[in-house]
């Protein structure tokens, strides 16, 4: 096989297993660890968790591959393995080229160094000469838009500034493979738009792009192929449209698994017992009413709040309704029966899902895919017109035009 025919990435039988300890507190000294081991009679007490299992696929050079899946599917773990942030438990990864990556805020930069120093540090780590970095330096700075802060240590950057510079460095330095996690959601809409355009341009010029995102419409806009992960397994590999269809079709099995509280993320101090709506079919102008219940929590001190997300079938969060914003908290010492009423959210026809979270400082229960409903193709406007009048935007809006001839 010639170098031109070689794939940029080849993955075969890849797996990552984590060992989850069954002990309470982790020992802080070697002596405490030895005592704990002796008390366990020499047998380690832990469970094994397969974050990824038997993943195999090839990525041709110049391909923009989307990695799709719900929370906990293994998307970020896969990207960390491909970028050598962590090592696989089993399987093989072949990379034909250098990898530039932006995985999460805080990785890849030294906090004590300035923005300028980190640009050169990143280039050096990738094996680039100082002259090569200097050739791209002005482009990196111009794209990031934070020229005034390049002499400031990055530990003083906001998350948005950090992402701007980190993405600009990853996108402009001369690597054959560019891996981006959904950290771009931290940036503003204009920066996200320019970033997607930059990644499209990188793929057109022969670079291989790996892109992880919950926002399925950005995967459609950027990627030429995609894979779907579900609970650590590769369940689909092919076209973007085929992957997104498989993602939507996988909701039933995902929702069934999430209905068991043991399968849901969160500490478990509170577990929602039911989430429902009175009807599975709504009109655009109808109020959206979500009912939920939670039993009494035995070992939780202090009230908790509830946050609900309404998601469209592209995975976009259309609305977040956090009970803190309206001053509503829930008492864990009593069983709770709650009701969320969303008014004036005119959803477009299609299928939607509801995620409900119970939280304090951290997440107590995360019930994703708790309910699904459909908005009927019944326009909320008094006049009928051609489809182009409503094809843009995520939701319909309650609006009027006013004016008179002068």
Residues 269, 359 contacting (CB under 8 angstroms)? no
What pLDDT band is residue 231 in, cutting at 50, 70 and 90?
confident
The CA distance from 137 to 356, in Å, is 45
Q: 230 pLDDT exceeds 80?
A: yes
Q: 335 pLDDT exceeds 70?
A: yes
Closest-CA residue to 346 (of 386, 319, 315, 314): 319
Encode 294-331: b = buried (16+ Cβ within 10 Å), e = exposed.
beebeebeeebbbbbbbbbbbbeeeeebebeeeeeebe
Q: Which CATH superfamily is domain 9-251 in?
A: P-loop containing nucleotide triphosphate hydrolases (3.40.50.300)
Q: 159 pLDDT exceeds 90?
A: no
Q: 156 pLDDT exceeds 70?
A: yes
Residue 28 confidence (pLDDT): 56
Residue 185 confidence (pLDDT): 59
Comparing 100-104, 174-178, 370-374, the range with the smallest average pLDDT is: 100-104
CB atoms within 10 A of CB 270: 25
Residue 15 confidence (pLDDT): 94
The predicted model gives 132-142 an average pLDDT of 91
Q: Is pLDDT larger for residue 285 or for residue 19?
A: 285
CB atoms within 10 A of CB 109: 22
Mean pLDDT of all residues belonging to the chain: 86
Q: 187 pLDDT exceeds 70?
A: no
Q: Which residue's entry shows tokens 């956090």?
A: 322
Q: 403 pLDDT exceeds 90?
A: no
- For the chain, the structural domain boundaries read 9-251, 262-389
Residues 139, 202 contacting (CB under 8 angstroms)? no
Residue 350 pairs with which residues in a beta bridge?
375
Residue 102 confidence (pLDDT): 75
What is the CATH code for 262-389?
Answer: 2.70.50.60
Residue 36 confidence (pLDDT): 64
What pLDDT band is residue 360 in, cutting at 50, 70 and 90?
very high
Residue 311 confidence (pLDDT): 92
pLDDT digits (tens, 9 = 90+) for 84-97: 888 999 999 999 98
Q: Which of 195-204, 343-352, 387-396 has the highest mean pLDDT?
A: 343-352
What pLDDT band is residue 214 in, cutting at 50, 70 and 90?
confident
The pTM of this model reads: 0.72
Instruction: Quote the crossing angle between the two packed helices 159-172 and 189-204, to the nearest 10°.
Output: 10
pLDDT digits (tens, 9 = 90+) for 255-274: 998 999 998 989 999 999 99
pLDDT digits (tens, 9 = 90+) for 53-65: 999 999 999 899 9
Residues in the chain: 406
Same fold: 9-251 with 262-389: no
Output the CA torsion sign for 340, 345, 349, 355. negative
CA–centroid distance for 222 within its chain: 16
Q: 373 pLDDT exceeds 90?
A: yes
Q: 21 pLDDT exceeds 90?
A: no
Output the CA–CA distances (angstroms, integers) from residue 130 to 100, 126, 143, 175, 388, in the order listed.
17, 11, 20, 15, 52
The predicted model gives 374-403 an average pLDDT of 87
Q: 31 pLDDT exceeds 80?
A: no
In the sheet with 64-68, reading across from the earlier edge strand, the strands are: 99-102, 177-180, 208-212, 64-68, 225-230, 233-238
pLDDT digits (tens, 9 = 90+) for 234-258: 999 999 999 988 988 888 888 998 9
Residue 237 confidence (pLDDT): 94
**CA dihedral in degrees (305, 160, 97, 65; nearest 10)?**
50
Q: 2 pLDDT exceeds 90?
A: no
């Amino acid at each position: 096989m010639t170098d031109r025919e070689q794939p940029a990435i080849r993955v075969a039988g890849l797996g990552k297993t984590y060992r989850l300890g069954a002990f309470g507190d982790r020992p802080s000294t070697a002596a405490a660890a030895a005592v704990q081991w002796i008390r366990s009679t020499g047998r380690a007490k832990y469970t094994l968790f397969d974050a990824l299992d038997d993943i195999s696929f090839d990525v041709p050079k110049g391909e923009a591959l989307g990695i799709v899946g719900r929370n906990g599917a293994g998307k970020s773990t896969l990207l960390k393995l491909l970028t050598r942030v962590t090592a696989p438990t089993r399987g093989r990864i072949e990379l034909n080229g250098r990898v530039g990556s932006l995985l999460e805020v805080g990785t890849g930069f030294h906090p004590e160094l300035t923005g300028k120093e980190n640009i050169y540090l990143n280039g050096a780590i990738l094996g680039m000469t100082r002259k090569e970095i200097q050739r791209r330096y002005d482009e990196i700075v111009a794209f990031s838009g934070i020229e005034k802060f390049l002499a400031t240590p990055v530990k003083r950057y906001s998350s948005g500034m950090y992402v701007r510079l980190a993405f600009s460095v990853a996108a402009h330095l001369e690597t054959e493979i560019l891996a981006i996690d959904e950290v771009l959601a931290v940036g503003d809409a204009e920066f996200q738009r320019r970033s997607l355009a930059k990644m499209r341009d990188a793929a057109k010029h022969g670079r291989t792009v790996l892109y992880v995102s919950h926002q399925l419409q950005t995967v459609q806009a950027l990627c030429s192929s995609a894979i779907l992960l579900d609970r650590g397994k590769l369940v689909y590999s092919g076209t973007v449209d085929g992957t997104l269809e498989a993602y939507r079709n996988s909701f039933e099995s995902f929702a069934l698994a999430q209905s068991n509280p043991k399968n849901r993320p969160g500490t478990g101090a509170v577990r929602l017992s039911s989430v429902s709506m009175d009807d599975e079919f709504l009109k655009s102008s109808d109020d959206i009413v979500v009912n939920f219940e939670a039993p009494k929590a035995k070992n939780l001190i202090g009230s908790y709040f509830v946050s609900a997300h309404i998601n469209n079938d592209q995975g976009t969060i259309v609305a977040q309704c956090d009970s803190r914003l309206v001053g509503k908290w829930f008492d864990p010492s009593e069983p709770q029966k709650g009701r969320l009423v969303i008014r004036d959210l005119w959803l477009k026809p299609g299928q939607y899902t509801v995620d409900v979270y119970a939280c304090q400082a951290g997440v107590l229960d995360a019930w994703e895919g708790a309910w699904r409903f459909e908005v009927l193709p019944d326009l909320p406007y008094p006049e009928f017109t051609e489809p182009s009048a409503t094809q843009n935007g995520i939701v319909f809006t309650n609006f009027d035009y006013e004016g008179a001839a002068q």
